[in-house]
Chain A
Amino acid sequence: MQFGIFSVGDVTPDPTTGRTPTERDRIKAMVAIALKAEEVGLDVFATGEHHNPPFVPSSPTTMLGYIAARTERLVLSTSTTLITTNDPVKIAEDFAMLQHLADGRVDLMMGRGNTGPVYPWFGQDIRQGINLAVENYALLHRLWREDVVNWEGKFRTPLQGFTSTPRPLDGVPPFVWHGSIRSPEIAEQAAYYGDGFFHNNIFWPADHTKRMVELYRSRYAHYGHGTPEQAIVGLGGQVFMRKNSQDAVNEFRPYFDNAPVYGHGPSLEDFTEQTPLTVGSPQQVIEKTLAFRDYAGDYQRQLFLMDHAGLPLKTVLEQLDLLGEEVVPVLRKEFAARRPAGVPDAPTHASLLARRTSEEVTVA
Chain B
Amino acid sequence: MQQTLANFFRALRAMDVRISPAEAIDAHETVDMVGYRDRQFLKDALCIALAKSEEEVGSFEECFDMFFTREEFQDRRNNESAEGGPNGAGPGESDLSESDQALIGDKELAQLVLDGSASDMAQAMERAANEANVANIRFGTQRGLFTRRILDKMGLRDLEMLILQLKRSEEDGAAEMAGRLEQGRKYLFEEARQYINRQFELYARNAGEQLREEFLLETRLGAIDPRDAKRMHNIVRRMAKQLATKYAKRRKHTKRGVLDVRRTLRRNMAHDAIPFETVWKQTKIDRPKIVAICDVSGSVAASARFLLLFLYSLNEVISTLSAYAFSGNLIEISDILENKEVEQGIPEIIEKVGFRPTDYGKSLEDFTQNHLDAVDRRTTVIILGDGRSNNTDPRTDLMRVIHDRAKSVIWLNPEPETFWGTGDSEMPRYKAFCHVAQHCSTVKDLDRIINDVLKTYFRA
A and B pair up: no
Interface residues of B (CB under 8 A from A): none
List chain A positions with a Cβ less than 8 A from chain B: none
